[in-house]
Structure 1
């Protein structure tokens, strides 16, 4: 039965088959997998994988070849193709993508946290830390904590609120989010829960930025951060800002978090103690992104707390923030499942490193002035210019912009449509009297469009 396949064996078999784009013979799989199994055992394992739908075959008898049933993650999810995964992350992705019934149920492993030694057993290598520091440099490193974040606060409120909410399935667009945050206007076709989620992010980000000198990795900060992010969203209002007293499960995972309140509190305090000792801000940020969701200390909203908490150390050191721009939801989720089920950080780490590079490119003055042009904007330069020109020249009201963008995006390959919409929305939010001329619109047209958008 397929349930009897060990996860490591299955991963080795699937990896071996992927090495042969035209399909692998039994002998090729035996050689490439490195597994010490009998020939008949190999055949049974492959039969089980075929029954579970993970591989298919072509040919017969001597020409029989085995193929992975589905293309790899990047092929099925074009939005993630920019993320280059390490070999270790690729192997982990193969494991966590396997059917849930083939994965072994696990509980909380306290050794995963207890064995971590701050400033000794770093998750990020010296080279990775060095690269992150270069990306995050804002020329504000020696100024008071929070100086840089305050300078870009209006932009950060929109970007981080939208992207973090998007990773929770929120369907507000970037423009919807800007309108809600800037003027309190709720989108007509969205739920009250989605609006509340975004407004909670706004409050939580302001808390982190405005109180940069007073907050840190302590109970006061994390409990209040949860209170702000979960406000008016939990079935039990008393659970907001309080450690969990009830058991919880993780959707699409075989991981079961701790259920005993005393143990949750013990590990929560230990996590904060270790986090507060970490000297490098990037290691500190990634540590909390790993261990807070793993512990699941709150009834809900744990991932949101971890994403915003990861910015605490960056903000204190005036580094470019991490706003999760363009992060693919599914790849991020799979990275967390790797942590939950195997205590393996490799996939989540690759997502973190890529996400920070994207965010730094958005915010860092150095990056903006010296970085290479965005290939996507270069490729669709004329389409972007034409779309924005029409929006301004015809003074399209906000409620008509998204349908128009969706219609224009249909002309592009499916993998580029959402990116086009995001780029145009970002450009519209960045327009002012000193840069609108590049879209060849008259001052009178720009003024009329601005007046329409202020309504």
Structure 2
């Protein structure tokens, strides 16, 4: 039921948020108030509540969500020890250094020292000499992250678990930006194209963008890396249809930006942003350890804020580049609390201190590695023939459905593809497997071929027994 806005506007907003213990977007708050007033007025009231410590936020700009005081990581009255004790009760155990970082950023933003971008934070890092992750941590990650598979081309492991990875990483990365889709909603969207009711359209767009970006990384495992091609295209895929300025998609930032609830002021000069961006990529590319490389990107790319928006999303998927290329377990941020991740990132922004974010990274990777070890075990050993021709099989089936082709046309097309693109000794088996895939297509599995529901329906009418 919509709630009238009484004279005490701040109390009315708090009453609305009491019904959203898991957080609410600006649009949800506005809709719950019969007379919310001008947009700027409501925004002013929300900022005032955050500044006073009566509300908390996660996410940035349009993705920001508001939380009632008293939820999981709300500010704690009292001294630093009391705040640190509250942090210690969170899901992720923090080191003493990490607790100190979180205790600092738990303070109201007005009490924290305003800071700007410090170039020396990037300049001081020397690949393979400087390390954000210690020797023991890197050894532990290598132990848990390497699946028991034979030597294989880059991207092989990610392809084996792609269907599960798409859902896990798309949902968790979106959730860390305040997206309110549930895991089930996400699965239905990615598998069936079913948009959840009662959610903003941009939430569905965000998740679909993640799917496209993940598939881009996995499909191009041999070509991706820490270079402009990968980073800019990754941003273009993740930011598609989400930015106020469509020309900013896949382009370095030309405007000043701010980060709500943070005392950090990002770099503003376009030439300096570009110069630092190129240096950041070159430094990342020179790092030999894949886990250090991944964490370096999670630290340095959001700190630079090279894009108008979507910076943290780019950093989270970029952190998976070395995992995909080295056939390591991916990092999908399973169970990472939104608020702790945001505050740990603020610690990097405001203090150039990676301790809290490192704690989050280490815990998150261990969770992810365990999950995908179990997933792979449940899948069993993959068919080496299907694995070798995975991309060609998927493309061929997709082309037949999109055409749409009937059975006779499909057989002709399969024969031509096999003759032109498959080794002679494998052609008959390729055709047999492709036909089996076509015969097994139904409404519950066609999305894995990047086929839209309308295309599947049209093809189904053509695909009749001869």
Distance of aligned partners of 1:201 and 1:289 in 2 relative to their CA distance in 1, 3 Å threshold: same
Aligned to 1:229: 238
Quick check: 2:84–2:100 contact (8 Å CA) kept in 1? no
Distance of aligned partners of 1:258 and 1:69 in 2 relative to their CA distance in 1, 3 Å threshold: closer
Residues 1:103 and 2:123 aligned together? no
- Poorly superposed stretches of 4+, deviation over 3 Å: 66-78, 365-369
Distance 1:367 1:182 in 2: 20
**What whole-Å deviation, never above 9, does each CA across 1:95-148 have from its counterpart, x for those lacking one?**
111111111111100000011000000111110001001111112362110000
Distance of aligned partners of 1:341 and 1:318 in 2 relative to their CA distance in 1, 3 Å threshold: same
Aligned to 1:289: 298
Distance of aligned partners of 1:92 and 1:269 in 2 relative to their CA distance in 1, 3 Å threshold: same
Quick check: 2:87–2:99 contact (8 Å CA) kept in 1? no
Q: TM-score, normalised by structure 1?
A: 0.65
Quick check: 2:80–2:103 contact (8 Å CA) kept in 1? no
Shift of 1:53: 9.2
Quick check: 1:141–1:317 contact (8 Å CA) kept in 2? no
User: 1:42-57 maps to which residues of 2 (within 5 A)?
Assistant: none
User: 1:431-450 maps to which residues of 2 (within 5 A)?
Assistant: none
Quick check: 1:164–1:307 contact (8 Å CA) kept in 2? yes
Residues 1:239 and 2:248 aligned together? yes
Compare 232-241 and 96-105 and name the one that shifted more: 96-105
Question: RMSD across aligned C-alpha pairs, in angstroms?
Answer: 2.5
Give the gaps of 5 or more residues in structure 1: 1-51, 55-65, 370-449
Distance of aligned partners of 1:141 and 1:120 in 2 relative to their CA distance in 1, 3 Å threshold: farther
Q: Secondary structure, in 3 states, of the residue corresponding to 1:178?
A: helix
Q: Residue 326 of structure 1 is aligned with which of 327, 335, 358? A: 335
User: 1:247-396 maps to which residues of 2 (within 5 A)?
Assistant: 247-365=256-374
Aligned to 1:162: 171
Shift of 1:69: 9.3
Distance of aligned partners of 1:169 and 1:279 in 2 relative to their CA distance in 1, 3 Å threshold: same
Shift of 1:187: 0.7
Q: Secondary structure, in 3 states, of the residue corresponding to 2:243?
A: coil
User: 1:103-252 maps to which residues of 2 (within 5 A)?
Assistant: 103-140=112-149, 142-252=151-261
Shift of 1:68: 3.8
Quick check: 1:141–1:318 contact (8 Å CA) kept in 2? no
Q: Secondary structure, in 3 states, of the residue corresponding to 1:272?
A: helix
Distance 2:222 2:201 in 1: 33
**What whole-Å deviation, never above 9, does each CA across 1:36-92 have from its counterpart, x for those lacking one?**
xxxxxxxxxxxxxxxx999xxxxxxxxxxx9549954674796x33x1111111111
Distance 2:250 2:78 in 1: 50
Distance of aligned partners of 1:173 and 1:366 in 2 relative to their CA distance in 1, 3 Å threshold: closer
Distance of aligned partners of 1:186 and 1:109 in 2 relative to their CA distance in 1, 3 Å threshold: same
Shift of 1:190: 1.3
Aligned to 2:426: none
Distance of aligned partners of 1:76 and 1:279 in 2 relative to their CA distance in 1, 3 Å threshold: closer
The count of residues paired between Structure 1 and Structure 2 equals: 309
Distance 1:73 1:95 in 2: 9
Distance 2:102 2:139 in 1: 26
**What whole-Å deviation, never above 9, does each CA across 1:286-315 have from its counterpart, x for those lacking one?**
000000000000000000000000000011
Distance 1:179 1:261 in 2: 41
Quick check: 2:88–2:99 contact (8 Å CA) kept in 1? no
Quick check: 1:361–1:368 contact (8 Å CA) kept in 2? no
Q: TM-score, normalised by structure 2?
A: 0.63
Distance 1:132 1:293 in 2: 23
Q: Secondary structure, in 3 states, of the residue corresponding to 2:319?
A: helix
Distance 1:137 1:151 in 2: 14
